[in-house]
Amino acid sequence: MSYRPPNLPLAVWVVCALLCMVPAISVARTDDTNRRTPLVKAIENCQHSVVSLRGQKRVATDASLEKGEQVRHVNGMGTGIVIDPRGYILTNFHVVDEVQQIQVTSIDRQVSPARLLARDPITDLAIIKVDRIDGLKPIKWGTSSDLMLAETVAAVGNAYGYEHTVTTGIISHLRRTVQVNENQIYENLIQTDAPINPGNSGGPLLNLDGEMVGVNVAVRVGAQGIAFAIPVDQAVEVAAQLLARINETQVESGIQVVTRYSQHSPSLFVSHVAGGSPAASAGIQVGDQIVSIDGSPASRSLDWERGLLEKKGGQSIRLVLRRNTEFEVTLNLKSSQLSGIDTANPVENLAWRTMGVKLSPATEQELAGRHPNYQRGLRVVAVRPGSPAERERIQVGDILVAMHGWKTESMENLHYILTQTDLQHHQQFMFYILRGREPYSGQMRLANVGTELR
């Protein structure tokens, strides 16, 4: 039953009722208005590429210990940057370090738990993975090589828990070195006066073209308008290294790649081809430019690693290469030698990452009668292509018996040696192996030990 006010003609009432039934119509704004600035468009285009992170970690404090409590729970927040639509997200390591459960929220309020896949404490970057959020889009990459002082930038992040907060400012300075505590020093940072607050960490710093030029990481406590971001060119390469640590547990291609810049524009090239590898069988050569991977354009190391994500041995990828002219090859992938390595085991993980070898204790029978000075050692089970071990011609079946002046009689011995400060700073060291009954020696430097798998 409808209500008709008294003294209102029926015809007028009918018209009013019909008008009330018509939904409100919003006028679409066109691009020729002054309000749709480049910054507005940039933020619109990145909304499905930025996610909010929440989590809880357990910390021990003096106050909790005084109360007889072992730990207390602290709620944390941060921001993540989508680097692959399958749910791979880049953020700061300090955002997710020791967080019990990482919760990810997208712009359209989809919520999903995430797991930490790989981390680099030195650069304070990490990769996490969500499985149940649709519509994620990779961020649009820019370059930090041509940033200009006073250039306008915007920060997007989960500031104080206010999701997808946008703040703006300028580039205040470049190549800053900042020490935030006794254990963390950042180098080559972008300084900006765009307001960055707790929760912004791990979010993008954007230019007016909507391209990411940095990862927001820190603020100067007590100061106004002083904040810092990791340059995107550095962050993208670290992200590629992190994905490489994930991929190498699944497949082998025999290829190592490098990003090279010309006029601030990146291109992707083959820097190493392992002998006898799938890449060698496909005729791929050092110096080949990788133009596309399975039909997707490739210009950075990250594109290569994204092309290998979630692949398995026996599968193939289609590459368009440029060597004078463009041509196409099919690269048939092999199952990874690392598939048997427990990446949660810090010793196995460290040996594989830094030396490029998978090791297991040699039995007394294997060493019996080989050499009077060595009764125990570590047998080489696998050698990673392109690793320091491969470059020094270490082979499967060799027995590592000593390095850096210590015997390697157990995995515990090896862990002690690999964590020595001088080795971690890439000092060259001597190693000794037994091949058959013959002893061999050589010199090696460890690969970068900063990038870690969790």
**What is the mean pLDDT of each successive set of 10 residues along the chain, which is 454 residues long?**
47 38 47 84 96 83 56 82 97 90 95 91 92 95 96 96 96 92 86 94 97 92 88 96 87 93 95 92 97 97 96 95 96 80 70 87 79 85 83 90 90 89 80 86 78 46
Residue 228 neighbours by CB under 8 Å, 6+ apart: 176, 178, 186, 189, 190, 191, 192, 196, 216, 217, 218, 219, 220
> Which residues are identified as catalytic?
94, 124, 201
**Environment class of residue 410 by beta-carbon count within 10 Å: exposed (0-12), middle (13-18) or buried (19+)?**
middle
110 is written with which tokens?
Answer: 């989809």
Q: How far apart are CA 356 and CA 348, in angstroms?
A: 10
CA 130 vs CA 3, 86, 127: distances in Å: 53, 8, 10
Tell me the one-letter amino acid at 249: T
Q: Is it true that 44-130 and 152-234 share their CATH fold? A: yes
Q: Which fold has domain 248-335?
A: Pdz3 Domain (2.30.42)
Is residue 313 a contact partner of residue 338, using CB atoms and an 8 Å limit? no
Q: What is the CATH number of domain 152-234?
A: 2.40.10.10
Q: Amino acid identity of 105?
A: T
pLDDT attached to residue 24: 44
Q: Model-level pTM? A: 0.73
**CATH fold for the domain made of 44-130:** Thrombin, subunit H (2.40.10)
User: What single letter denotes the amino acid at residue 430?
Assistant: M
Question: Pick from 371, 389, 222, 250: which is nearest to 309 by CA?
Answer: 250
Q: How buried is 188 (Cβ within 10 angstroms: 0-12 exposed, 13-18 middle, 19+ buried)?
A: middle
Task: Give the whole-angstrom CA distance, residue 242 versus residue 126.
Answer: 7
Give the right CATH number for 337-453 from 3.20.20.10, 3.40.50.2300, 3.90.1150.10, 2.30.42.10: 2.30.42.10
Rounded CA-CA distance 262/86 in Å is: 30
Domain boundaries, the chain: 44-130, 152-234, 248-335, 337-453
Output the pLDDT for position 68.
58
Quick one: pLDDT at residue 342? 58
